[in-house]
Structure 1
Amino acid sequence: MTIINGLFKWVYDMGNWLAKVMYLHFLWLIFTLLGLGVFGISPATAALFSVIHKWLEEDFDIPIFKNFYSVYKSDFLKSNSLGFILIGLGIFLYVDMNISQQYIKSFYVHLFLLIIIFLYMLTILYFFPVFVRYELKFFLYFKQSFYVALARPLETVAMIICLFLLFYLFRFLPILLFFAGSSIIAYPLAWFAFRAFVQIEGKN
Protein backbone atom coordinates (compact mmCIF):
# COMPACT_ATOMS: atom_id res chain seq x y z
CA MET A 1 0.00 0.00 0.00
CA THR A 2 2.87 2.35 0.80
CA ILE A 3 4.37 1.66 -2.62
CA ILE A 4 1.04 2.42 -4.34
CA ASN A 5 0.61 5.66 -2.37
CA GLY A 6 4.16 6.63 -3.23
CA LEU A 7 3.54 5.91 -6.91
CA PHE A 8 0.34 8.00 -6.93
CA LYS A 9 2.15 10.85 -5.18
CA TRP A 10 4.96 10.71 -7.76
CA VAL A 11 2.47 10.76 -10.64
CA TYR A 12 0.57 13.65 -9.03
CA ASP A 13 3.75 15.66 -8.39
CA MET A 14 4.99 15.05 -11.94
CA GLY A 15 1.62 16.07 -13.40
CA ASN A 16 1.54 19.18 -11.22
CA TRP A 17 5.08 20.11 -12.28
CA LEU A 18 4.31 19.56 -15.96
CA ALA A 19 1.10 21.62 -15.78
CA LYS A 20 2.95 24.54 -14.20
CA VAL A 21 5.89 24.50 -16.62
CA MET A 22 3.42 24.40 -19.53
CA TYR A 23 1.52 27.35 -18.08
CA LEU A 24 4.77 29.25 -17.53
CA HIS A 25 5.86 28.50 -21.11
CA PHE A 26 2.62 29.90 -22.55
CA LEU A 27 3.00 33.02 -20.41
CA TRP A 28 6.47 33.41 -21.89
CA LEU A 29 5.10 33.04 -25.43
CA ILE A 30 2.19 35.43 -24.87
CA PHE A 31 4.26 38.17 -23.25
CA THR A 32 7.02 37.79 -25.83
CA LEU A 33 4.41 38.39 -28.54
CA LEU A 34 2.88 41.29 -26.58
CA GLY A 35 6.29 42.94 -26.76
CA LEU A 36 6.31 42.35 -30.54
CA GLY A 37 8.97 39.69 -30.14
CA VAL A 38 12.02 41.94 -30.15
CA PHE A 39 10.85 44.03 -27.19
CA GLY A 40 9.18 41.14 -25.38
CA ILE A 41 11.67 38.30 -25.36
CA SER A 42 14.12 39.72 -22.80
CA PRO A 43 11.57 40.79 -20.14
CA ALA A 44 9.57 37.59 -20.71
CA THR A 45 12.72 35.51 -20.27
CA ALA A 46 13.65 37.44 -17.13
CA ALA A 47 10.15 36.82 -15.76
CA LEU A 48 10.40 33.13 -16.68
CA PHE A 49 13.67 32.70 -14.79
CA SER A 50 12.36 34.75 -11.88
CA VAL A 51 9.42 32.39 -11.34
CA ILE A 52 11.65 29.31 -11.58
CA HIS A 53 14.14 30.90 -9.20
CA LYS A 54 11.37 31.46 -6.66
CA TRP A 55 10.27 27.84 -7.10
CA LEU A 56 13.79 26.77 -6.15
CA GLU A 57 14.37 29.27 -3.36
CA GLU A 58 10.94 29.72 -1.83
CA ASP A 59 7.88 27.67 -2.76
CA PHE A 60 6.64 25.73 -5.79
CA ASP A 61 3.10 26.95 -5.10
CA ILE A 62 3.72 30.68 -5.56
CA PRO A 63 1.16 32.52 -7.76
CA ILE A 64 2.75 32.17 -11.20
CA PHE A 65 0.99 34.90 -13.15
CA LYS A 66 1.37 37.52 -10.41
CA ASN A 67 5.11 36.93 -10.08
CA PHE A 68 5.65 36.68 -13.84
CA TYR A 69 3.78 39.87 -14.65
CA SER A 70 5.42 41.79 -11.80
CA VAL A 71 8.95 41.10 -13.10
CA TYR A 72 7.93 41.60 -16.74
CA LYS A 73 6.51 45.02 -15.96
CA SER A 74 9.09 46.29 -13.46
CA ASP A 75 12.17 45.13 -15.41
CA PHE A 76 10.86 45.77 -18.94
CA LEU A 77 13.26 48.61 -19.80
CA LYS A 78 16.25 47.26 -17.90
CA SER A 79 16.00 43.73 -19.30
CA ASN A 80 15.48 45.07 -22.83
CA SER A 81 18.54 47.31 -22.59
CA LEU A 82 20.71 44.43 -21.42
CA GLY A 83 19.08 42.03 -23.89
CA PHE A 84 19.80 44.31 -26.84
CA ILE A 85 23.46 44.40 -25.83
CA LEU A 86 23.56 40.59 -25.68
CA ILE A 87 21.85 40.28 -29.05
CA GLY A 88 24.10 42.95 -30.55
CA LEU A 89 27.22 41.17 -29.33
CA GLY A 90 25.92 37.89 -30.74
CA ILE A 91 25.27 39.44 -34.16
CA PHE A 92 28.68 41.13 -34.10
CA LEU A 93 30.45 37.84 -33.33
CA TYR A 94 28.41 35.99 -35.97
CA VAL A 95 29.38 38.55 -38.63
CA ASP A 96 33.03 38.45 -37.54
CA MET A 97 33.05 34.65 -37.77
CA ASN A 98 31.65 34.77 -41.32
CA ILE A 99 34.23 37.36 -42.33
CA SER A 100 36.96 35.20 -40.81
CA GLN A 101 35.76 32.11 -42.68
CA GLN A 102 35.24 33.75 -46.06
CA TYR A 103 37.90 36.45 -46.28
CA ILE A 104 40.58 36.40 -43.59
CA LYS A 105 41.00 32.61 -43.46
CA SER A 106 43.53 32.74 -40.65
CA PHE A 107 43.63 29.81 -38.23
CA TYR A 108 44.68 32.01 -35.31
CA VAL A 109 42.01 34.65 -35.91
CA HIS A 110 39.42 31.90 -36.31
CA LEU A 111 40.56 30.23 -33.08
CA PHE A 112 40.50 33.54 -31.22
CA LEU A 113 36.92 34.21 -32.37
CA LEU A 114 35.84 30.69 -31.37
CA ILE A 115 37.22 31.25 -27.86
CA ILE A 116 35.42 34.62 -27.60
CA ILE A 117 32.15 33.04 -28.81
CA PHE A 118 32.52 30.21 -26.30
CA LEU A 119 33.02 32.67 -23.43
CA TYR A 120 30.07 34.72 -24.71
CA MET A 121 27.87 31.61 -24.63
CA LEU A 122 29.02 30.78 -21.08
CA THR A 123 28.01 34.28 -20.02
CA ILE A 124 24.55 33.83 -21.58
CA LEU A 125 24.00 30.61 -19.61
CA TYR A 126 24.12 32.51 -16.33
CA PHE A 127 22.91 35.91 -17.47
CA PHE A 128 19.20 35.67 -16.64
CA PRO A 129 19.70 33.65 -13.42
CA VAL A 130 22.12 36.38 -12.28
CA PHE A 131 19.70 39.10 -13.40
CA VAL A 132 16.81 37.76 -11.30
CA ARG A 133 18.90 36.98 -8.20
CA TYR A 134 21.07 40.07 -7.83
CA GLU A 135 20.55 43.81 -7.96
CA LEU A 136 23.68 45.07 -9.72
CA LYS A 137 24.90 48.06 -11.65
CA PHE A 138 24.18 47.81 -15.37
CA PHE A 139 27.34 46.26 -16.83
CA LEU A 140 28.12 44.20 -13.73
CA TYR A 141 25.48 41.67 -14.84
CA PHE A 142 27.82 40.61 -17.66
CA LYS A 143 30.84 40.48 -15.37
CA GLN A 144 29.02 38.51 -12.65
CA SER A 145 27.61 36.02 -15.16
CA PHE A 146 31.05 35.43 -16.61
CA TYR A 147 32.58 35.13 -13.15
CA VAL A 148 30.07 32.49 -11.98
CA ALA A 149 30.54 30.49 -15.19
CA LEU A 150 34.28 30.24 -14.52
CA ALA A 151 34.04 29.93 -10.73
CA ARG A 152 31.68 26.91 -10.88
CA PRO A 153 32.90 24.79 -13.83
CA LEU A 154 30.98 21.65 -12.77
CA GLU A 155 27.63 23.45 -12.88
CA THR A 156 28.62 25.11 -16.16
CA VAL A 157 29.49 21.77 -17.78
CA ALA A 158 26.25 20.29 -16.42
CA MET A 159 24.30 23.11 -18.08
CA ILE A 160 25.96 22.44 -21.42
CA ILE A 161 25.26 18.71 -21.15
CA CYS A 162 21.61 19.43 -20.31
CA LEU A 163 21.28 21.63 -23.39
CA PHE A 164 22.67 18.87 -25.61
CA LEU A 165 20.31 16.30 -24.04
CA LEU A 166 17.34 18.66 -24.47
CA PHE A 167 18.28 19.22 -28.10
CA TYR A 168 17.94 15.48 -28.79
CA LEU A 169 14.83 15.23 -26.62
CA PHE A 170 13.11 17.96 -28.64
CA ARG A 171 14.14 16.27 -31.87
CA PHE A 172 12.56 13.05 -30.62
CA LEU A 173 9.50 14.75 -29.06
CA PRO A 174 9.06 18.13 -30.82
CA ILE A 175 5.63 18.54 -29.24
CA LEU A 176 7.40 19.22 -25.93
CA LEU A 177 9.12 22.21 -27.50
CA PHE A 178 5.76 23.66 -28.51
CA PHE A 179 3.94 23.07 -25.22
CA ALA A 180 6.71 23.63 -22.66
CA GLY A 181 9.95 24.42 -24.48
CA SER A 182 11.08 27.61 -22.76
CA SER A 183 10.34 26.29 -19.26
CA ILE A 184 12.01 22.93 -19.85
CA ILE A 185 15.12 24.68 -21.16
CA ALA A 186 15.19 27.30 -18.41
CA TYR A 187 14.53 24.94 -15.48
CA PRO A 188 17.86 23.01 -15.47
CA LEU A 189 19.79 26.21 -16.24
CA ALA A 190 18.14 27.94 -13.28
CA TRP A 191 18.65 24.89 -11.06
CA PHE A 192 22.38 24.58 -11.72
CA ALA A 193 22.82 28.36 -11.53
CA PHE A 194 21.05 28.35 -8.16
CA ARG A 195 23.46 25.65 -6.92
CA ALA A 196 26.40 27.73 -8.15
CA PHE A 197 25.10 30.88 -6.41
CA VAL A 198 24.59 29.08 -3.12
CA GLN A 199 28.09 27.59 -3.24
CA ILE A 200 29.78 30.90 -4.08
CA GLU A 201 27.77 32.85 -1.50
CA GLY A 202 28.52 30.23 1.14
CA LYS A 203 32.25 30.60 0.56
CA ASN A 204 32.06 34.38 0.61
Structure 2
Amino acid sequence: MQLGSFSNGIYVVCNWIARLAYLNLLWILFTLSGFVIFGFFPATIAMLATLRQYLLKNHPPVFQTFWQYYKKEFHNSNKLGLIFVAFGSILYVNITFLQSASNETAAFLLYSSIIMSCIYFLLICYTLASYVEFDQPLRTHIKNALLITIYSPIPSLFMIFGTAAIYFAVATISGLGFFFSVSLLGLVILSSASLAFKRITRKQEEMSNET
Protein backbone atom coordinates (compact mmCIF):
# COMPACT_ATOMS: atom_id res chain seq x y z
CA MET A 1 0.00 0.00 0.00
CA GLN A 2 2.81 2.35 0.96
CA LEU A 3 4.79 1.36 -2.13
CA GLY A 4 1.75 2.10 -4.29
CA SER A 5 1.36 5.56 -2.73
CA PHE A 6 5.08 6.25 -3.19
CA SER A 7 4.95 5.16 -6.85
CA ASN A 8 1.90 7.32 -7.42
CA GLY A 9 3.68 10.29 -5.86
CA ILE A 10 6.70 9.77 -8.13
CA TYR A 11 4.38 9.56 -11.14
CA VAL A 12 2.63 12.82 -10.20
CA VAL A 13 5.95 14.63 -9.75
CA CYS A 14 7.35 13.35 -13.06
CA ASN A 15 4.09 14.26 -14.80
CA TRP A 16 4.29 17.83 -13.48
CA ILE A 17 7.95 18.14 -14.49
CA ALA A 18 7.12 17.05 -18.05
CA ARG A 19 4.09 19.33 -18.15
CA LEU A 20 6.03 22.39 -16.96
CA ALA A 21 8.84 21.71 -19.47
CA TYR A 22 6.33 21.36 -22.31
CA LEU A 23 4.54 24.58 -21.34
CA ASN A 24 7.86 26.41 -21.18
CA LEU A 25 8.80 25.23 -24.66
CA LEU A 26 5.37 26.23 -26.00
CA TRP A 27 5.79 29.66 -24.41
CA ILE A 28 9.13 30.14 -26.16
CA LEU A 29 7.75 28.90 -29.49
CA PHE A 30 4.64 31.10 -29.47
CA THR A 31 6.53 34.14 -28.18
CA LEU A 32 8.91 33.84 -31.12
CA SER A 33 6.02 33.22 -33.52
CA GLY A 34 4.66 36.65 -32.55
CA PHE A 35 8.09 38.20 -33.21
CA VAL A 36 8.55 38.47 -29.41
CA ILE A 37 6.92 41.92 -29.24
CA PHE A 38 3.44 40.70 -30.20
CA GLY A 39 3.84 37.14 -28.92
CA PHE A 40 5.12 37.67 -25.39
CA PHE A 41 1.88 38.58 -23.60
CA PRO A 42 -0.46 36.23 -25.54
CA ALA A 43 1.96 33.36 -24.90
CA THR A 44 2.20 34.29 -21.22
CA ILE A 45 -1.58 34.43 -20.83
CA ALA A 46 -1.95 31.13 -22.68
CA MET A 47 0.68 29.50 -20.48
CA LEU A 48 -0.95 30.75 -17.26
CA ALA A 49 -4.46 29.82 -18.39
CA THR A 50 -3.37 26.30 -19.39
CA LEU A 51 -1.42 25.87 -16.15
CA ARG A 52 -4.45 27.01 -14.17
CA GLN A 53 -6.50 24.20 -15.72
CA TYR A 54 -4.07 21.67 -14.32
CA LEU A 55 -4.03 23.34 -10.90
CA LEU A 56 -7.82 22.93 -10.95
CA LYS A 57 -7.16 19.22 -11.65
CA ASN A 58 -8.56 19.40 -15.14
CA HIS A 59 -6.55 17.57 -17.78
CA PRO A 60 -7.09 19.22 -21.17
CA PRO A 61 -4.72 18.56 -24.09
CA VAL A 62 -1.80 20.93 -23.56
CA PHE A 63 -1.08 22.12 -27.08
CA GLN A 64 -4.72 22.52 -28.11
CA THR A 65 -5.58 24.40 -24.91
CA PHE A 66 -2.52 26.64 -25.22
CA TRP A 67 -3.30 27.44 -28.85
CA GLN A 68 -6.96 28.24 -28.11
CA TYR A 69 -6.05 30.70 -25.36
CA TYR A 70 -3.31 32.21 -27.50
CA LYS A 71 -5.74 32.95 -30.35
CA LYS A 72 -8.58 34.08 -28.12
CA GLU A 73 -6.54 36.48 -25.99
CA PHE A 74 -4.10 37.74 -28.62
CA HIS A 75 -5.53 41.25 -28.99
CA ASN A 76 -6.63 41.91 -25.40
CA SER A 77 -3.40 40.58 -23.91
CA ASN A 78 -1.38 42.84 -26.19
CA LYS A 79 -3.49 45.82 -25.07
CA LEU A 80 -2.68 44.90 -21.48
CA GLY A 81 0.97 44.44 -22.41
CA LEU A 82 1.08 47.90 -23.98
CA ILE A 83 -0.03 49.42 -20.67
CA PHE A 84 2.63 47.46 -18.77
CA VAL A 85 5.37 48.39 -21.23
CA ALA A 86 4.43 52.08 -21.10
CA PHE A 87 4.63 52.30 -17.31
CA GLY A 88 7.67 50.03 -17.21
CA SER A 89 9.50 52.27 -19.66
CA ILE A 90 8.81 55.30 -17.47
CA LEU A 91 10.20 53.48 -14.43
CA TYR A 92 13.26 52.31 -16.37
CA VAL A 93 14.07 55.78 -17.69
CA ASN A 94 13.56 57.25 -14.22
CA ILE A 95 15.89 54.74 -12.54
CA THR A 96 18.53 55.14 -15.27
CA PHE A 97 18.46 58.91 -14.87
CA LEU A 98 18.67 58.77 -11.06
CA GLN A 99 21.62 56.34 -11.19
CA SER A 100 23.63 58.94 -13.08
CA ALA A 101 22.92 61.64 -10.47
CA SER A 102 25.09 61.97 -7.37
CA ASN A 103 23.24 63.74 -4.59
CA GLU A 104 21.17 62.71 -1.56
CA THR A 105 17.86 63.62 -3.13
CA ALA A 106 18.61 61.50 -6.19
CA ALA A 107 19.65 58.59 -3.95
CA PHE A 108 16.38 58.81 -2.03
CA LEU A 109 14.36 58.96 -5.25
CA LEU A 110 16.35 56.02 -6.63
CA TYR A 111 15.46 53.82 -3.66
CA SER A 112 11.85 54.94 -3.96
CA SER A 113 11.85 54.02 -7.65
CA ILE A 114 13.27 50.58 -6.85
CA ILE A 115 10.46 50.00 -4.35
CA MET A 116 7.99 51.17 -6.98
CA SER A 117 9.50 48.67 -9.40
CA CYS A 118 8.86 45.84 -6.92
CA ILE A 119 5.26 47.00 -6.52
CA TYR A 120 5.01 47.25 -10.30
CA PHE A 121 6.24 43.65 -10.65
CA LEU A 122 3.62 42.44 -8.15
CA LEU A 123 0.96 44.46 -9.95
CA ILE A 124 1.82 42.72 -13.23
CA CYS A 125 1.75 39.28 -11.61
CA TYR A 126 -1.60 39.81 -9.88
CA THR A 127 -3.10 41.34 -13.02
CA LEU A 128 -2.06 38.34 -15.11
CA ALA A 129 -3.40 35.95 -12.47
CA SER A 130 -6.68 37.87 -12.30
CA TYR A 131 -6.89 37.91 -16.10
CA VAL A 132 -6.91 34.12 -16.35
CA GLU A 133 -9.08 33.68 -13.23
CA PHE A 134 -11.92 36.17 -13.77
CA ASP A 135 -13.86 37.48 -16.76
CA GLN A 136 -13.57 41.24 -16.20
CA PRO A 137 -12.60 44.40 -18.11
CA LEU A 138 -8.88 45.21 -18.24
CA ARG A 139 -9.35 48.25 -16.01
CA THR A 140 -10.98 46.09 -13.33
CA HIS A 141 -8.13 43.56 -13.46
CA ILE A 142 -5.56 46.32 -12.90
CA LYS A 143 -7.57 47.99 -10.12
CA ASN A 144 -8.10 44.71 -8.28
CA ALA A 145 -4.44 43.78 -8.72
CA LEU A 146 -3.41 47.10 -7.13
CA LEU A 147 -5.70 46.50 -4.14
CA ILE A 148 -4.41 42.94 -3.72
CA THR A 149 -0.81 44.15 -3.89
CA ILE A 150 -1.48 46.63 -1.08
CA TYR A 151 -3.63 44.47 1.19
CA SER A 152 -2.09 41.00 0.71
CA PRO A 153 1.50 41.18 2.00
CA ILE A 154 1.99 37.46 2.71
CA PRO A 155 1.09 36.18 -0.81
CA SER A 156 3.19 39.05 -2.19
CA LEU A 157 6.18 37.90 -0.13
CA PHE A 158 5.68 34.35 -1.40
CA MET A 159 5.67 35.71 -4.93
CA ILE A 160 8.83 37.79 -4.43
CA PHE A 161 10.82 35.03 -2.70
CA GLY A 162 9.57 32.42 -5.17
CA THR A 163 10.67 34.58 -8.08
CA ALA A 164 14.06 35.17 -6.44
CA ALA A 165 14.50 31.41 -5.88
CA ILE A 166 13.69 30.65 -9.54
CA TYR A 167 16.10 33.35 -10.70
CA PHE A 168 18.87 31.93 -8.50
CA ALA A 169 18.21 28.36 -9.72
CA VAL A 170 18.14 29.39 -13.38
CA ALA A 171 21.33 31.44 -12.99
CA THR A 172 23.09 28.58 -11.18
CA ILE A 173 21.98 25.48 -13.08
CA SER A 174 22.88 25.53 -16.76
CA GLY A 175 20.01 24.75 -19.13
CA LEU A 176 17.30 24.94 -16.47
CA GLY A 177 15.94 28.23 -17.77
CA PHE A 178 15.21 26.84 -21.22
CA PHE A 179 12.86 24.18 -19.83
CA PHE A 180 11.42 25.63 -16.62
CA SER A 181 12.02 29.37 -16.10
CA VAL A 182 8.69 30.83 -17.24
CA SER A 183 6.47 27.86 -16.37
CA LEU A 184 7.88 27.70 -12.83
CA LEU A 185 7.36 31.45 -12.47
CA GLY A 186 3.79 30.95 -13.68
CA LEU A 187 3.28 28.29 -11.01
CA VAL A 188 4.55 30.69 -8.33
CA ILE A 189 2.32 33.51 -9.61
CA LEU A 190 -0.85 31.42 -9.75
CA SER A 191 -0.23 29.74 -6.39
CA SER A 192 0.52 33.03 -4.60
CA ALA A 193 -2.38 34.82 -6.27
CA SER A 194 -4.70 31.95 -5.31
CA LEU A 195 -3.82 32.54 -1.65
CA ALA A 196 -4.64 36.22 -2.04
CA PHE A 197 -7.94 35.53 -3.82
CA LYS A 198 -9.01 33.04 -1.15
CA ARG A 199 -8.10 35.49 1.61
CA ILE A 200 -10.21 38.21 0.01
CA THR A 201 -13.11 35.79 -0.50
CA ARG A 202 -13.02 34.82 3.20
CA LYS A 203 -13.02 38.46 4.24
CA GLN A 204 -16.00 39.19 1.99
CA GLU A 205 -17.88 36.22 3.44
CA GLU A 206 -17.11 37.36 6.99
CA MET A 207 -18.33 40.88 6.22
CA SER A 208 -21.52 39.56 4.64
CA ASN A 209 -22.17 37.32 7.68
CA GLU A 210 -21.70 40.27 10.04
CA THR A 211 -24.28 42.32 8.16
TM-score (norm 2): 0.88
Distance in 2 between residues matched to 1:132 and 1:170, nearest whole Å: 26
Q: Is the 8 A contact 2:166 2:181 kept in 1?
A: no
CA-CA distance at 1:43 after TM superposition: 0.5
- CA deviation digits over 1:25-77, x for unaligned, max 9? 111111111101010000000011111222223x2422222221111111111
CA-CA distance at 1:104 after TM superposition: 7.0
CA-CA distance at 1:112 after TM superposition: 3.3
Against the structure 1 CA distance between its residues 104 and 79, is the aligned structure 2 distance closer, same or farther, given a 3 Å change threshold? farther
Q: Is the 8 A contact 1:155 1:192 kept in 2?
A: yes
Alignment of 1:106-121 (within 5 A): 106=105, 107-121=107-121
2:54 paired with 1:44: no
Q: Is the 8 A contact 1:155 1:193 kept in 2?
A: yes
CA-CA distance at 1:154 after TM superposition: 0.8
Distance in 1 between residues matched to 2:189 and 2:7, nearest whole Å: 28
Distance in 1 between residues matched to 2:151 and 2:60, nearest whole Å: 31
Q: Which residue of 2 aligns with 1:72?
A: 70
Alignment of 1:107-186 (within 5 A): 107-186=107-186
Pairing partner for 1:91 from 75, 80, 89: 89
Aligned residues: 202
Secondary structure in 1 matching 2:96: helix
Q: Is the 8 A contact 1:25 1:182 kept in 2?
A: yes
CA-CA distance at 1:197 after TM superposition: 1.2
Q: Larger deviation: 105-114 or 15-24?
A: 105-114
Q: Which residue of 1 aligns with 2:188?
A: 188
Q: Is the 8 A contact 1:53 1:194 kept in 2?
A: no
Q: Which residue of 1 aligns with 2:209?
A: none
Letter in 1 for 2:13: M
Secondary structure in 1 matching 2:36: coil
Against the structure 1 CA distance between its residues 108 and 175, is the aligned structure 2 distance closer, same or farther, given a 3 Å change threshold? closer
Secondary structure in 1 matching 2:188: helix
CA-CA distance at 1:169 after TM superposition: 1.5
Q: Is the 8 A contact 1:53 1:129 kept in 2?
A: no
CA-CA distance at 1:79 after TM superposition: 0.4
- Structure 1 unpaired stretches of 5+: none
Secondary structure in 2 matching 1:39: coil
Alignment of 1:4-19 (within 5 A): 4-19=3-18
- Structure 2 unpaired stretches of 5+: 205-211
Q: Percent same amino acid among aligned pairs?
A: 27
TM-score (norm 1): 0.91
Higher relative contact order (Cα pairs below 8 Å, separated by 6+ residues): 1
Against the structure 1 CA distance between its residues 65 and 99, is the aligned structure 2 distance closer, same or farther, given a 3 Å change threshold? same
Secondary structure in 1 matching 2:138: coil
Against the structure 1 CA distance between its residues 36 and 202, is the aligned structure 2 distance closer, same or farther, given a 3 Å change threshold? same
Against the structure 1 CA distance between its residues 32 and 103, is the aligned structure 2 distance closer, same or farther, given a 3 Å change threshold? same
Q: Which residue of 2 aligns with 1:81?
A: 79
Q: Larger deviation: 41-50 or 143-152?
A: 143-152
Q: Is the 8 A contact 2:32 2:39 kept in 1?
A: yes
Letter in 2 for 1:95: V
- CA deviation digits over 1:116-139, x for unaligned, max 9? 223212202212101111222232
